[in-house]
Amino acid sequence: MSTQTEISRILSLEEIFSLYPDEWVLIVNPELDEELNVIRGEVLAHATERDEIYSKLSLRNGKSVAIEYTGSIPDNIAVML
């Protein structure tokens, strides 16, 4: 599936997960909590494939970004940041 680019508005992380289930989401100007978890932000792009989101990083125009996956991660998978 192709990457979708959004006309952004500020959404809570819960709204992002609800609107884009099982997708990778590029969020610009994210608001973070004290543990650096995304609270809310503007969705710039979303896609089912991670590499499609990475290819959209040039659209951020110098803004800070976060990338979230809205699906569930299996218990037998380790994630490194």
Q: In whole angstroms, give the CA distance from residue 2 to residue 34.
A: 34
- What pLDDT score does 75 carry? 72
- What pLDDT score does 61 carry? 87
- What pLDDT score does 43 carry? 94
The mean pLDDT values, 10 residues at a time, for the chain of 81 residues are 62 96 95 96 94 92 93 73 58
pTM attached to this predicted model: 0.81
Of 42, 35, 33, nearest in space to 64 by CA = 42
Which residues partner with 27 through β-bridges?
A: 43, 66
- What pLDDT score does 44 carry? 93
